[in-house]
Amino acid sequence: MGSEAVLSVFTSHGVANIVCDEPMQRHTTWRIGGPADYFVVPASLDELRGTVLAARHLGLPITVIGRGSNALVLDGGIRGVVVKLHDAFAKVEIEGTAIIAMAGRSYVSAANIALRHGLAGLEFATGIPGSVGGAVMMNAGAYGKETCEVLEWADVMNADGEIERLQNADLKFGYRYSILKDRFGIVTQAKFALSPGDRDALVKQVKQWSQKRVESQPLSWPNCGSVFRNPEGTHAGRLIEAAGLKGFQHGGAKISDKHANFIVNVEEATAADVLWLIRHAQQVVRDQYGIELETEVRVLGEPISGR
């Protein structure tokens, strides 16, 4: 089916904000990625539902992104439909000592709103550069805390376009895992159960963490956050640094001089450059320490040779 016919199906389902062959490098924090066949930024819950139903009618897969962190889009791009939840899904409400945030909201922003209201529990999220929806899906965490510790429920759109409210236990959280990594579901909003806190003390803690990030992470270069999961009992960055790979560069991608669990885009890197570095780091650490590094980053799409 040609693109005009495909767009006609989406239009018939009430989808207006759709473009063809959208470069994904515009939508990832790594600034890397080939084109999405069809790219939708829903302006409402109804338009998101229409997107899901139109894609199902056409037999097209759906990939959902938020802020584009923790994702490596391969150079051949993404087949099917990419849905970006952005400004129309950014509303935040305070409900007593809880915060309800829509999935497209920056996790950092949601955490800062909680801080301003003197609510404790989300401080760790002030250092996670993703969306609320992405944080729920991957059980994002930092500073020894995880999303699952404060999440009460998440509203999730299924393949029929219906909203299901999944409680914390339904999501079957694990380390950087929820059941949404294994089944289709689009988080639309989530409720976080927090507690009253000392606003000044919370802000002081967050400022300390922020200063530590500035000193230890390569925030001035495009990156996706941590690339590898921390093996039990140690840290991926320490292993990579001990293996002598800190500052190692391949093509336009480089293992950061500041933090070895970050790969930065320093010279118009391709996804192939990043993948090569990932595999090289895995091989060297495996050979030297007998430890298998597992990636935390989501690899999406296909290489150029696959198009």
Tens digit of pLDDT for each residue in 173-204? Answer: 998 899 999 999 999 999 999 999 999 999 99
Give the pLDDT confidence score for residue 160 in this predicted structure.
95
More confident residue, 156 or 214: 156
Q: Collapsing DSSP states into helix, strand and coil, what is residue 247?
A: coil
From 92, 99, 42, select the one nearest 65 (Cα to Cα): 42
CA distances from 81 to 7, 13, 26, 30, 37 (A): 11, 14, 16, 20, 6
Q: What is the DSSP letter of 131?
A: B
Q: What confidence category does residue 307 fall into, taking pLDDT thresholds of 50, 70 and 90?
A: very low
Q: Collapsing DSSP states into helix, strand and coil, what is residue 271?
A: helix
The bridge status of strand 253-255 relative to strand 35-40 is unpaired
Q: Which of 49, 67, 105, 176 is catalytic?
A: 176
Give the pLDDT confidence score for residue 2 in this predicted structure.
87
Q: Residues 142-148: what's their mean pLDDT?
A: 93
Strands (DSSP E) along 70-185, which ranges?
Answer: 71-73, 78-84, 92-95, 98-102, 119-120, 141-142, 145-146, 151-157, 163-167
Which backbone phi and psi does 276 adopt, to 5 degrees? -60, -45
Average pLDDT, the chain: 95
pLDDT digits (tens, 9 = 90+) for 4-29: 999 999 999 999 999 999 999 999 99
Residue 286 designated active-site: no
Distance CA 118, CA 203 (A): 9
Contacts of residue 21, Cβ cutoff 8 Å, sequence gap at least 6: 35, 36, 37, 77
Distance CA 82, CA 31 (A): 16
Task: Say whether pLDDT at 162 is over 50.
Answer: yes
* Percentage of residues of the chain with pLDDT beyond 70: 99
Task: Answer for the pair 165, 153: CB distance below 8 angstroms, yes or no.
Answer: yes
Q: What confidence category does residue 75 fall into, taking pLDDT thresholds of 50, 70 and 90?
A: very high
Q: What confidence category does residue 305 fall into, taking pLDDT thresholds of 50, 70 and 90?
A: low
Task: Say whether pLDDT at 123 is over 70.
Answer: yes
Task: Say whether pLDDT at 299 is over 80.
Answer: yes
Residue 296 designated active-site: yes
Q: What confidence category does residue 55 fall into, taking pLDDT thresholds of 50, 70 and 90?
A: very high
pTM reported for the whole predicted model: 0.92
Residue 176 designated active-site: yes
- Ranges of H-type helices in the chain: 3-12, 45-58, 107-116, 132-138, 199-216, 236-242, 271-289
Q: Residues 239-252: what's their mean pLDDT?
A: 98
Q: Which of 296, 298, 305, 307 is catalytic?
A: 296
